[in-house]
Amino acid sequence: MDGSTADFDALEGWQAEEYAARVHYRGADDHYSIEFYSPSECVLYWKVKGDGETAVPVGRDTVPDPLRARIRDDLEAAGIDPDTERRSL
């Protein structure tokens, strides 16, 4: 797995750029923006405030398990090692 972001464009909701890919998810009460960065091969979670404009980084232990599992599935579908989701900065 090469850490490229090109294959994210084929996945629902993902937008890929040269070195990063981003997706937004809405839960019952919370909204998240999730970013994968290929240079550092890491995933960052951002909780989006109600205004939709403000986001703050959050630790992955605060992110619901089903969302984290979905991100790991998406990483694998994009050819990225799903364990990358668990990697600390």
Residue 1, in any domain of the structure: no
Residue 79, in any domain of the structure: yes
Residue 66, in any domain of the structure: yes
For residues 4-9, average pLDDT: 87
Domain with 29 in it: 6-86
Residue 46, in any domain of the structure: yes
Banded model confidence at residue 3, pLDDT cuts 50, 70, 90: low
With 0.75 as the threshold, say if the pTM is over it.
yes
Task: Please give the tally of structural domains in the chain.
Answer: 1
pLDDT of residue 52: 79
Structure tokens at 3: 């850490």
pLDDT of residue 44: 96
| Tens of pLDDT, residues 58-80 | 999 999 999 999 999 999 999 99
Torsion of CA 82, 69, 57, 43, to 10 degrees: 10
